[in-house]
Structure 1
Amino acid sequence: MEVLLFLTGLIVAFVGTLAGSGGLIGMPMMLLLGIPVHTSIATAKFSNIISSSSSFAYLLKDRKVTLKECLPIIPLALIGGIAGAYLSDKIIPTVLEGMAFFFLMLALLLGLLKGIKPKCTNKILPFGKLFLISVYDGLFGPGQATLLMYTHLRHGLTYLKSVAVTRFQTFASCLGAFTMYLNSGHVDWMTAIPFAFGALIGAQLSVRLASKVSIRQAGFLLNIITFILILQVGLRLFL
């Protein structure tokens, strides 16, 4: 099982770094392996802490983003992740999947109708939207990074900077959420460690590929990934 977890973590991080939503690959796989849902979510949070921090560090070192640009995100991402994890036992999974379906549909429609073009170029981040995405990340997670990518690209950031800021926010929200899952006893280290090790390698591979992706290709990739996710979530909800 450890080999399967390692390979799944690698694929999840590779896809998730480039276009987000690797969680909708990893979550079903962990559930198929018989891992309880809360342990699966905790495992995903731990692997995201490792993979997102490593990919962000690479982009920061490569000067694709500055730490100053990311610092305002810390409190809303941490608090959002903690709040989401706290609510995880209060909301039934079908409601969570319904939320994911709605937000992914909205993101896809915006991408198809308006394209991934800068909506504005000011420096004021949409804090309310970013906070809600962090709450969703702590609560469940799959689709979170795709929503962040859409938000930052439409806010005027370049593709690489969007990847960097998304990785940073994912790290912070997952760190907040993981502390709650750890405190609740949902962490299984025999599951979390091989999954996270695969995610670390997948993130490093994808972040090196990201520099070769144009804004047009990024938009196409996001739309394709989102469409696949909508099909997957929709089938689970309505069949």
Structure 2
Amino acid sequence: MNYILIYLIGFIATTVGTLAGGGGFISFPSMLLLGVPIHSAIGANKVSNTVSSFTSFWHLYRKGEVDWKESIWIMPVSVMGGVAGGMTATFMSASMLTVVASIFLVFGYIISFLGKGNFTNQKEKLPLNKYSFSGLFGIGMFDGMFGPGQGTLLFNLFGYLNLSYIKAVALVRLATVSSCMGAAVTYIASDKIIWSVTLCLMLGSVTGAQLGVRIAEKLKPQYVKPILRIMTLLLLIQLWINQFNL
């Protein structure tokens, strides 16, 4: 097993994922190409995402970019959505999951054009209303069912809710911690984890998360929505290529 490559996969995927989501579409297929068993690859991603997402959230929290009181409710909502998604996925075929994932991503793409802001509002707090609650629950459900693309969908949701970009980065990381933690525990308990692979991926992911969050602090907000639209389209193309073996 090439552990240096696994480290680099974690580094690149998490750097991209921190900025705009979609890192799972880099790390997961790359690990499968290296011969990592599918359940071990999923488990490694969940463990590394839990740790790396928390480190980037904690960095922004300590800098005062996000208020704990306004965001704490994200965690139980994301966990409930993840559990509901995991249970739903057990009754769905792989092709049906791809269709559902495509619907979610198309909806996220449309939402990116409907948002009231452009990630420039520095004062707006995350509201607890029907849009934020249902959006977070639905995306948590998507993460439980499918996974890759969850971060991009969250960015589109927070753009619609008119949050600043750096606050959106922090909240995406917090929601990712919530949705991945339960899955990580499940894979550890079922003895599906290859720890040498997981630790290499986690080290790369933590490094990538720290680089990504520092790039995010300097990224001009007006560039974010075009990046998200491109990322969403790339995710859809990747899904369709996998589905139709193009």
Stretch deviating more after TM superposition (53-62 or 80-89): 80-89
- Indicate the SS of the match to 1:211: helix
Q: Shift in Å at residue 46 of structure 1?
A: 0.7
RMSD (CA atoms): 2.2
Report matched runs for 1:68-217 at 5 Å: 68-86=69-87, 89-111=90-112, 113-114=113-114, 117=117, 123-125=127-129, 126-217=132-223
Q: Name the amino acid aligned to 2:23.
A: G
What stretches of structure 1 of length at least 5 have no aligned partner?
none
Stretch deviating more after TM superposition (85-94 or 5-14): 85-94
- 1:56-75: CA deviation from partner (whole Å, max 9, x where unpaired): 00000111101111111121
Q: Shift in Å at residue 90 of structure 1?
A: 4.4
- CA distance in structure 1 between the partners assigned to 2:195 and 2:90 by the alignment: 21
Q: Shift in Å at residue 157 of structure 1?
A: 0.8
Q: Name the amino acid aligned to 1:146.
A: T
Stretch deviating more after TM superposition (212-221 or 4-13): 212-221
- CA distance in structure 2 between the partners assigned to 1:115 and 1:155 by the alignment: 7
| TM superposition score normalised by structure 1 | 0.91
Residue 7 of structure 2: aligned partner = 6
Contact residue 84 and residue 144 of structure 2 kept, 8 A: yes
Residue 67 of structure 1: aligned partner = 68
- CA distance in structure 2 between the partners assigned to 1:108 and 1:117 by the alignment: 15
* Residue 231 of structure 2 is aligned to residue 230 of structure 1: no
- CA distance in structure 2 between the partners assigned to 1:80 and 1:176 by the alignment: 11
Q: Shift in Å at residue 185 of structure 1?
A: 2.6
What is the number of residues matched between the two proteins?
238
- CA distance in structure 1 between the partners assigned to 2:58 and 2:145 by the alignment: 25
Q: Name the amino acid aligned to 1:29.
A: S
Q: Shift in Å at residue 97 of structure 1?
A: 2.4
Q: Percent identity over the alignment? A: 37
User: Alpha carbons of 1:212 and 1:196: their partners in 2 closer, same or farther (altered >3 Å)?
Assistant: same
What stretches of structure 2 of length at least 5 have no aligned partner?
none
- 1:126-147: CA deviation from partner (whole Å, max 9, x where unpaired): 2122112112223331000000
- 1:41-65: CA deviation from partner (whole Å, max 9, x where unpaired): 1111111111100000000011110
* Residue 198 of structure 2 is aligned to residue 219 of structure 1: no
Contact residue 81 and residue 175 of structure 1 kept, 8 A: no
Residue 44 of structure 1: aligned partner = 45
Stretch deviating more after TM superposition (87-96 or 69-78): 87-96
Q: Name the amino acid aligned to 1:172.
A: S
Q: Shift in Å at residue 93 of structure 1?
A: 2.9
Q: Name the amino acid aligned to 2:138.
A: L
- CA distance in structure 1 between the partners assigned to 2:42 and 2:171 by the alignment: 22
Contact residue 118 and residue 225 of structure 2 kept, 8 A: no
Stretch deviating more after TM superposition (20-29 or 210-219): 210-219
Q: Name the amino acid aligned to 2:127.
A: K
| TM superposition score normalised by structure 2 | 0.89
- 1:201-238: CA deviation from partner (whole Å, max 9, x where unpaired): 00000101111122211111111111211111111123
Contact residue 116 and residue 162 of structure 2 kept, 8 A: no
